[in-house]
């Protein structure tokens, strides 16, 4: 058994704001269930200081001079730091077993639960020097799940295979979540955002990972990493100003395979290694978040493009003149716009990256 305590002192060093002294106890124990299986459990409190950007951004310029109004509009369009932020605190619980299933095959099973409090969020209020948005310790989250890991070693493969089943819920996925997804949409600073939690942006129910080295010969090795997981949740787009329940739908199932192929050989007294790295070897691209309305073809109509453009106009482009009659009609503009965005969709954050290949050389003399 191990029992300990951590003492953290945190201060913004700004006059008028109190410091924080946090005591974090931790304990863990383990014992043999059989000759080959070990049971263990851990409980502990952990702290994480807030980002300095959340504490000091714009704060040193308060009260704002009038010539800075253009940056803030009505002094409500930007988030000012709060030196009074307290560290985020996490209570973590974990129990598990690990041991040998058979020779060269080990397994670990863990169940975990984490309760995170004092998370940084954004709130609207009236302060001594201004009214607007600032950071506060107002959010919380929790994460729980089960993780299983199998480690295998033989003459062909050395590595591990893991599967995780987890749930992550909370009041915000990141510090400015409510700012961008409530205040900026509703334009309502008088009504506080609705209370309640939801599945966070990074919540992933099922995740399966393979990591290991395949030894195809004495010198030829392949490092393989395979990732397969359920898509992350998202909020379906709705009418402007209308708030839907957060993250009620999920993106497509995600998968990616990466590989590093290594081939070492000797030339006289020198050694050389050639490696080929392939990221997203299967070249599978998937949607990681919904397309914005700007890219949503169902929300684009001919009225968005105005009147026709003739060949003598500086805005005329032959590629958009689909029937090559010297006139770009609004209908042709819509079709061209949809084709352009479909062709260049990889530049949008809504899709994952395509395959990438890199070759490396290493010499030793």
Predicted confidence (pLDDT) per residue in 100-157, tens digit = 998 889 999 999 999 999 999 998 877 766 678 889 999 999 999 999 999 998 888 8
At 32 the pLDDT is 94
Sign of the alpha-carbon torsion through 263, 265, 267, 273: positive
Q: Which fold has domain 2-250?
A: Maltoporin; Chain A (2.40.170)
User: Structure pTM?
Assistant: 0.75
Q: Residues 188, 177: contact at Cβ < 8 Å?
A: no
Tell me: pLDDT of 16 over 80.
yes
Where in the chain does DSSP place strands (E)? 2-10, 20-32, 37-48, 79-80, 88-102, 105-126, 131-153, 157-170, 198-199, 206-215, 221-229, 233-234, 249-250, 254-267, 270-279, 309-310, 327-328, 356-364
Note the pLDDT of residue 19.
92
pLDDT in tens, 28-40: 999 999 999 999 9
- DSSP secondary structure string for all residues of 192-229: PPPP--EE-TT--SEEEEEEEEEESSSS-EEEEEEEEE
The reported pLDDT for the residue numbered 75 is 44
pLDDT in tens, 306-319: 788 999 998 898 88
């Amino acid at each position: 058994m191990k029992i300990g305590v951590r003492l953290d002192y945190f201060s913004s060093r700004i006059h008028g704001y109190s410091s924080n002294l946090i005591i974090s106890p931790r304990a863990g124990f383990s014992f043999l269930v059989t000759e080959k299986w070990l049971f263990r459990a851990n409980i502990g409190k952990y702290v994480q200081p807030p980002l300095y950007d959340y504490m000091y951004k714009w704060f040193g310029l308060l009260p704002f001079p009038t010539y800075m109004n253009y940056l803030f509009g009505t002094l409500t369009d930007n988030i000012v730091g709060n030196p009074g932020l307290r560290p985020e605190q996490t209570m973590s619980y974990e129990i598990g077993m690990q041991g040998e299933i058979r020779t060269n095959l080990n397994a670990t099973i863990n169940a975990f639960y984490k309760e995170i409090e004092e998370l940084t969020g954004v709130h609207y209020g009236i302060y001594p020097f201004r009214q607007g948005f600032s950071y506060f310790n107002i959010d919380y989250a929790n994460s729980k799940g089960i993780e299983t890991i199998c480690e295998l070693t033989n003459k062909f493969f050395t590595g591990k295979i893991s599967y995780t089943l987890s749930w992550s819920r909370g009041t915000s996925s990141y510090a400015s979540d409510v700012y961008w997804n409530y205040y900026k949409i509703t334009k309502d600073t008088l009504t506080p955002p609705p209370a309640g939690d939801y599945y966070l942006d990074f919540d992933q129910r099922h995740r399966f990972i393979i990591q290991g080295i395949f030894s195809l010969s004495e010198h030829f090795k392949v490092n393989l990493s395979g990732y397969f997981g359920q898509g992350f949740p998202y909020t379906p787009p709705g009418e402007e100003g209308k708030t839907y329940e957060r993250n009620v739908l999920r993106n497509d199932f995600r998968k990616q395979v990466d590989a590093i192929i290594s081939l070492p050989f000797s030339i006289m007294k020198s050694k050389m290694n050639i490696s080929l790295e392939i990221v997203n070897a299967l070249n599978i691209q998937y949607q990681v978040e919904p397309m914005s309305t700007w890219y949503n073809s169902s929300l684009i109509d001919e009225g968005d493009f105005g009147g026709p453009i003739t060949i003598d106009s500086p805005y005329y482009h032959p590629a958009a003149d689909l029937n090559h009659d010297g006139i770009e009609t609004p209908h042709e503009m819509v079709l061209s716009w949809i084709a352009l965005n479909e062709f260049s969709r990889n530049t949008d954050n809504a899709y994952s990256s395509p395959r990438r290949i890199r070759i490396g050389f290493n010499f030793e003399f």
